Amino acid sequence: MALSISISISISLLLIFLSHFPSSHAEPFIGVNYGQVADNLPPPSETAKLLQSTSIQKVRLYGADPAIIKALAGTGVGIVIGAANGDVPSLASDPNAATQWINSNVLPFYPASKIILITVGNEILMSNDPNLVNQLLPAMQNVQKALEAVSLGGKIKVSTVHSMTVLGSSDPPSTGSFAAGYQTGLKGILQFLSDTGSPFAINPYPFFAYQSDPRPETLSFCLFQPNAGRVDSKTGIKYTNMFDAQVDAVHSALKSMGFEKVEIVVAETGWASRGDANEVGASVDNAKAYNGNLIAHLRSMVGTPLMPGKPVDTYLFALYDENLKPGPSSERAFGLFKTDLSMVYDVGLAKSSSSSQTPSGKVTSSGWCVPKKGATNEELQASLDWACGQGIDCGTIQPGGACFEPNNVASHAAYAMNMYYQKSPKQPTDCDFSKTATVTSQNPSYNSCVYPGGGGGAAGSKAVMNKYVSSDKVEKKNGAIEPNVSSSLSFLLIFLSLIFHV
């Protein structure tokens, strides 16, 4: 009996221990918007299979289509469902309406379908309808109470979605603040989000920022491509991409109202793959660059300058093109996938592209591309984001990959730079990265992390220790020390031997 109890306790402890190891495919911060303003969408069951073939972990619906929610049952995909703007008045005025909404749209599916968030309304503050704006918070409160009545309070969060126009100031990011006309209404909403642990959901679109400032340097800044960067005059922080600048402006706005601890969720962001003649920047190349580099940036786990160390939960817009959406052509061209389930362009979302294999094809380079001494973390992060957005396999430097440790920008950038260089024509300009990289004859491979290159001799030669690996421990920005995975695995083996020696 004692042996049985001991083994049971030990196995429980082991499961807790193992839960701290990252999965190479676990990317809960990447989601996608699933719009339905179309007449040619594939069946929900086919979409569910498509999502399971990708690293997308969350889906946002604009409504609560029961066929889609049911199709996603058992997939583990987190689901955001929405109460439409037209539902807000009844939800606000009648608690029974909120109860009925939960009874109809949540209880028949949960928990088999992993509903994680309910958004009440979409960009209501922009509606210019004062009555609807005033009804938003009461509607959110009644939905929250309805969830609590069925013991789902806290398990399913409640929020609403805003456009970036709620900000009155966003440049530089440290001066971000909400427009004066929205602050009174927002204060109650922010207090609700803070009290319930729910996120502030917003829609930043560098695509539209570029359209209002169509200079070449702005395009590079928006697409996470190498650029001179923009310095926040108040903090001295250099921003190398528009996404971080916009998200940090939202963070500053929340802080200015005393709610800096409220989590930010990017409910929508994307780039159109085509547009009308007057829609500057709308192209397949730019859409692939933006979405691919954004995904690489999120996977790098670097966060933003004001919120370092964790990626912002981000829902890409959109899963499919929606052929019935009104407006300019770009409105019907944000899809990542065609309705025949093929990719519009490849941004590395397929699970097979997140593996830790080296690129196919014979390597003929006579060296390895690595960062130059003196390159800053900001420069290397920009190069890392750009390289991983060019179709190379960066799965090896993601959690669980052979080159994830040491988990720092310099090491990850070194691997990504070299991967890009090895797949390129190997011209000197292919290992430039805005003057931050150089070709070396020293093999930077270490332990089980293999850098392709070296004229075909890399695999068989004895590798020197990668200069970016300083120890078997990695110091994080908050000062905490994270043990190397191999050291932890050694401990795990010892732990297992103790269990079965009992």
Please list the active-site residues.
123, 268
The DSSP 8-state label assigned to residue 124 in this structure reads: G
**Can you tell me the distance from the alpha carbon of 277 to that of 270, in angstroms, rounded to the nearest whole number?**
19
Whether the Cβ atoms of residue 283 and residue 273 lie closer than 8 Å to each other? yes
Let me know if 236 is exposed, middle or buried by CB neighbors in 10 A (0-12, 13-18, 19+): exposed
Give the C-alpha separation, 360 to 375, whole Å: 29
- β-bridge partners, 202: 162, 266
CB within 8 A of 61, min separation 6: which ones? 34, 36, 68, 69, 79, 80, 81, 82
Q: What is the DSSP letter of 27?
A: -
Burial environment of residue 76 by CB neighbours within 10 A (0 to 12, 13 to 18, 19 or more): exposed
Work out the number of other CB atoms within 10 angstroms of the CB of residue 464: 12
Q: What is the 3-state secondary structure (H, E, C) of 34-95?
A: ECCCCCCCCCHHHHHHHHHCECCCEEEECCCCHHHHHHCCCCCCEEEEEECHHHHHHHHHCH
Q: Is 267 exposed, middle or buried (0-12, 13-18, 19+ CB in 10 A)?
A: buried
Distance CA 48, CA 343 (A): 15
